[in-house]
């Protein structure tokens, strides 16, 4: 790992010189707005309900410079209408992304990215978001919408290398999670990782990765991810990802799934997924905020409602069956069912739950989409009363 850090520092130093000779060639401005109406019951008290309207607005500016240098800045504000708290931080416009990128640095195919950026390995089983529902950026002022948050970025240095001659790519990164400004740097929290990707026969992608979370203690995690099409069956694909802690604990996690996009009108598909998480997978208890790794996209693995209830210290497995189709050109419908079973440890104990979710989207224009999604825990012993939610939303990009 020390050699990786030395490479990152050396390339970073070279990059600091290159922008001095750059000039602006092209500037782009854009953004998006998400407005979501939230209807949720209070799973602790059947007579209470959590309702509100959430606006999430982002605007970005990117600039292409000479010498293959580019920059990106994206600002964000997330606010629940009429929600008043003493912490003014809630109303701030925050820096969501702020990075510079240099392509073909020193050699063709080598890219350096420095600054606040999103980093995701595979589907984010190990690294995908600096925040989750229990540790979102606004701290302890939870207004019951953090599972809908859009912020994921890390403050990081990243190197990507993809030579044109061979089907191989490499990513290395170093992230600063928590900075202790005292003289005792042993309490700093840093995240390091490297990923090696290979393409086999133009249909299979294989990734091998290693991630180290380093603070007063450390967790080393290794994983493998395979995504492949099935040449004999058009539209059929499969995925498998397994990762394991090699220090801090010996827990592991597994994702597996198949998807069949049926070659027919209305573009129907069916997907079957399986997830397995060991008790201490997402919370080792030895870092600031008790975060040992940084997973993302969790709601798609164990059910959005279960994730929204904050179950991130797991000992469970989950089964997901999803179907979808487009009944008309601008309409799409998706239905997902989840069975989640606790295996004795973590927050779930040995309880279980069945969740059903329905999503309907209408693409009004190329840039504007209206939709509604609803779901409920329909049975099982995990909750009483059973939580449910309905989200109505409008999304526009410009």
pLDDT the model gives residue 14: 47
For residue 7, pLDDT beyond 50: no
For residue 345, pLDDT beyond 80: no
Question: What's the residue count for the chain?
Answer: 398
pLDDT the model gives residue 172: 98
Q: What Rg, from alpha-carbon coordinates, does the chain have? A: 22
CB 70, CB 64: distance < 8 Å: yes
- Cα torsion 81, 83, 84, 88: sign: negative
- Better-scored residue on pLDDT, 58 or 14: 58
Extract the tokens encoding 12. 């970073």
Give the residue among 102, 112, 225 at the shortest CA–CA distance from 160. Answer: 112
- Better-scored residue on pLDDT, 44 or 186: 186
CB 262, CB 234: distance < 8 Å: no
Please state, rounded to an integer, the average pLDDT across all residues of the chain. 85
| Count of structural domains, the chain | 1
C-alpha 299: how far from chain center: 10
Query: Hunting for tokens 């420095």 — which residue is that?
Result: 114
Contacts of 245 (CB under 8 A, 6+ apart): 219, 220, 221, 251, 252, 280, 281, 284, 292
Residue 61: pLDDT band with limits 50, 70, 90: very high
Query: b or e along 41-55 (b: 16 or more beta carbons within 10 Å of the residue's beta carbon)?
Result: bebeeeeeeeebebe
Give the residue among 176, 251, 242 at the shortest CA–CA distance from 209. Answer: 242
pLDDT the model gives residue 202: 86
For residue 210, pLDDT beyond 50: yes
pLDDT the model gives residue 88: 54
Residue 316: pLDDT band with limits 50, 70, 90: confident
Domain that holds residue 318: 2-397
CB 71, CB 100: distance < 8 Å: yes
On the CB side of 6, CA atoms within 13 Å amount to 3
- Report how many helices (DSSP H) and strands (DSSP E) the chain contains, helices first: 3, 18
Strand runs (DSSP E) across 66-109, as ranges?
69-80, 94-102
For residue 143, pLDDT beyond 60: yes
Q: What is the pLDDT of residues 263-293, one digit of tens each?
A: 999 999 999 999 998 877 765 444 444 456 7
CA 125 – CA 117 distance, rounded (Å): 18
∠ Cα 43 46 50 (to 5°): 65
Q: What is the pLDDT of residues 117-141, one digit of tens each?
A: 999 999 899 999 998 777 788 755 5
Q: Give one DSSP letter per residue of 36-48, joined into a string.
A: EEEEEE-TT-TT-
Q: What is the pLDDT of residues 68-122, one digit of tens each?
A: 999 999 999 998 888 776 655 556 889 999 999 999 998 999 999 999 999 999 9
For residue 18, pLDDT beyond 70: no
pLDDT the model gives residue 45: 55
Q: What is the 3-state secondary structure (H, E, C) of 148-216?
A: HCCCCCEEEEEEEECCCCCCEEEEEEEEEEECCCCCCHHHCEEEEEEEEEEEECCCEEEEEEEEEEECC
pLDDT the model gives residue 10: 47
- State the burial class of residue 139 (Cβ atoms within 10 Å of its Cβ: 0-12, 13-18, 19+): exposed
CA 272 – CA 259 distance, rounded (Å): 7
CATH number at residue 231: 2.40.160.10
- State the burial class of residue 6 (Cβ atoms within 10 Å of its Cβ: 0-12, 13-18, 19+): exposed
Query: How many percent of the chain have pLDDT more than 70?
Result: 83
pLDDT the model gives residue 62: 96
């Amino acid at each position: 790992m020390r050699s990786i850090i030395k490479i990152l520092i050396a390339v970073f130093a070279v990059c600091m010189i290159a922008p001095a000779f750059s000039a602006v060639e092209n500037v782009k401005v854009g953004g998006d707005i998400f407005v979501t109406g939230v209807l949720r019951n209070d799973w602790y008290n059947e007579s209470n309900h959590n309702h509100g309207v959430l606006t999430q607005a982002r605007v970005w500016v990117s600039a292409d410079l000479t010498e293959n240098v580019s920059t990106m800045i994206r600002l964000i504000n997330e606010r629940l209408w009429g929600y008043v708290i003493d912490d003014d931080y809630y109303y701030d416009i925050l820096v969501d992304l702020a990075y510079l990128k240099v392509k073909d640095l020193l050699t063709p195919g080598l890219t350096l990215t420095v600054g606040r950026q999103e980093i995701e390995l595979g589907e984010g089983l190990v690294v995908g978001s600096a925040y989750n529902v229990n540790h979102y950026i606004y701290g302890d002022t939870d207004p019951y919408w953090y599972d809908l948050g859009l912020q994921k970025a890390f403050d990081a240095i990243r190197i990507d290398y993809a030579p044109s001659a061979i089907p191989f790519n490499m990513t290395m990164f170093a992230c600063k999670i928590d900075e202790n400004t005292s003289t005792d740097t042993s309490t700093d929290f840093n995240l390091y990782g490297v990923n090696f990707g290979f393409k086999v026969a133009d249909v299979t992608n294989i990734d091998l990765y290693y991630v180290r979370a380093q603070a007063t203690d450390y967790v080393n995690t290794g994983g493998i991810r395979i995504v492949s099409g099935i040449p004999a069956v058009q539209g059929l694909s499969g995925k498998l990802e397994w990762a394991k802690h090699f220090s801090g604990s010996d827990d592991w996690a597994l994702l597996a799934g198949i998807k069949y996009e049926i070659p027919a009108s209305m573009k129907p598909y069916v997907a079957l997924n399986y997830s397995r998480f060991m008790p201490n997978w997402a919370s080792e208890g030895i870092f600031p905020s008790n975060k040992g790794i940084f997973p993302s996209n969790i709601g798609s693995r164990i059910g959005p409602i279960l994730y929204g209830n904050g179950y991130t210290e797991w000992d469970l497995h989950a089964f997901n069956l999803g179907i979808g189709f487009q009944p008309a050109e601008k309409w799409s419908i998706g239905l997902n069912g989840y069975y989640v079973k606790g295996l004795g440890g973590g927050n779930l104990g040995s309880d279980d739950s069945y969740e059903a979710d329905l999503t309907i989207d209408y693409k009004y224009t190329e840039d504007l989409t209206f939709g509604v999604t609803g779901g409920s825990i329909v049975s099982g012993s995990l909750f009483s009363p059973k939580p449910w939610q309905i989200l109505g939303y409008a999304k526009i990009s410009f």
